[in-house]
Amino acid sequence: MGNQTLAIIKPDAVQNQYTELIYESIVKAGFIILASKMIHMTKAETESFYAIHQGKPFYEELTSFMSSGQCMVLALEKENAVDTWREIIGATNPAEAAVGTIRKDFATSLGKNAVHGSDSDENAEKEIAFFFSQSELRANK
Point out the residues that are catalytic: 116
Q: Does the protein bind ligand IDP through residue 21 (CB under 6 A)? A: no
Q: Decide if residue 121 touches ligand IDP (CB under 6 A).
A: no
Residue in the shown chain whose Cβ atom is closest to Mg ion:
119
Q: Which is nearer to Mg ion, 83 or 119 (CB)?
A: 119
Angle between helices 81-89 and 121-131 (to 10 degrees): 80
What is the C-alpha separation between 118 and 73, in angstroms, rounded? Answer: 12
Task: Return the number of other C-beta atoms located less than 10 Å from residue 62's C-beta.
Answer: 19
**21 vs 91, beta carbon nearer ligand IDP:** 91
Contacts of 12 (CB under 8 A, 6+ apart): 65, 107, 108, 112, 113, 114
Please, which residue, 7 or 35, has the CB nearer to ligand IDP?
Answer: 7
Q: Please give the residues from 95 up to 124 whose contact with Mg ion meets the rule CB under 5 A.
A: 119
C-alpha–C-alpha distance, residues 51 and 23, integer Å: 27
Binding footprint of ligand IDP on the chain (CB under 6 A): 58, 61-62, 92, 110-111, 113, 116, 119
Binding footprint of Mg ion on the chain (CB under 5 A): 119
